[in-house]
Amino acid sequence: MCFPEESDADNEVYACFDQTAAKKFESLDADFLNFFDPDSLEHIVIPAVISGDVLCRCGYFTSFPDQILALGSVTEDQLGKVAETGKVTSDQFVPQDWYLTPAACLHFYPMLARRADRLPTALTTRARVFRRENRQTAPLTRLWDFTVREFVFVGPQEQVRERLAHVKTAALDYARALFSDVSLQVAQDSFYPTPTNNAKVRLQRGNARKFELIARFGDRTIALASFNFHDLHFSGAFGFDHNRTIQTGCAGLGLERWLGALALEKGAPA
């Protein structure tokens, strides 16, 4: 594995991989896909950027404003200064209403809205996603730029919950073959602390809507995957709920985190 040159190893925001690690990366992803019959999944490709309108409809600005990474450009009158100094300062930067994708599943819901009359039941993508970590970053396990294998499930509640249960069991069994101490536990999203978001935390935990697959290494833990039941949150917001009968859920497995956990399991630093 390798990291950016001339940087602090305790504050990595991204990682790159040598050939050996890249092969393991691909092997892990192939195994994750095998949690399901390949013919049962619709494969989707998503972009690295997402519009502010979609994030707003998903509730991302109100729930996670501290995690957003915005795109922008240098103003025309400052281009010469940037060329002269070789850097961009905040007063030269104009944000646009476009953002780096913070969660892969957010691209799925506008697509599903356009296909409301012929909804798929299970979709997947492998995508780079981007979140500003307001906690200290850590090599491979807490990055601003990372990769997920994402599954999204669509349908009546019972069907969505069945698929979430299936992928939870498959991921746990797979992790148990690799790590000595893993478990599933009820979790919560890292909502920005407001009264409304604090109520979301209580609802999420009280109804066990989010689980994480946790690997433990002494006093350190790594969340390898998350499993989320959305209820009507997205299907209602994007108008494919079919009179409140269609709900969604998702599962995301962080590939860099699995590589970091494998290094820790072998006793190597990660």
The predicted-structure confidence for 87-120, as pLDDT tens digits, reads as follows 999 899 888 999 999 999 999 999 999 999 999 9
Number of C-beta neighbours around residue 256 at 10 A: 24
Q: Is the pLDDT of residue 220 over 60?
A: yes
State which of 70-79, 150-159, 207-216, 259-268 shows the largest mean pLDDT. 150-159
Rounded Cα gap, residues 142 and 140, in angstroms: 6
Q: What is the DSSP string of 156-211?
A: SHHHHHHHHHHHHHHHHHHHHTT-SSEEEEE------SSHHHHHHHHHHHHTT-EE
User: What number of H helices and E strands is found in the chain?
Assistant: 9, 10
CB burial class (10 A; 0-12, 13-18, 19+) of residue 141? Answer: buried
Long-range contacts at 54-60 (CB < 8 A, ≥ 24 apart): 54/106, 54/107, 54/109, 54/110, 55/99, 55/102, 55/106, 57/109, 57/237, 57/238, 58/106, 58/109, 58/234, 58/237, 59/233, 59/237, 60/102, 60/103, 60/106
Cα 87 to Cα 32, 43, 81, 91, 189: the distances in Å are: 41, 39, 9, 12, 35
Average of pLDDT values for 187-211?
A: 88
pLDDT at 4 > cutoff 60: no
134-151 pLDDT tens trace = 766 677 778 999 999 999
User: What is this structure's pTM?
Assistant: 0.91
CA–CA gap between residue 195 and residue 25 (Å, rounded): 40
Q: pLDDT by residue (tens digit) across 248-265?
A: 999 999 999 999 999 999
Give the H or E element holding residue 223: strand 220-231
Helix (H) or strand (E) holding 81: helix 79-85
Among 166, 158, 162, 123, CA closest to 247:
158
- Domains along the chain with CATH numbers: 9-46+102-265 (3.30.930.10)
Q: Which two tokens stand for residue 122?
A: 């299970």
Give pLDDT, residue 222. 95
Q: How far apart are CA 90 and CA 74, in angstroms?
A: 9
User: How far is residue 56's CA from residue 63's CA, in Å, rounded to a whole number?
Assistant: 10
At 34, list the tokens.
């095998």
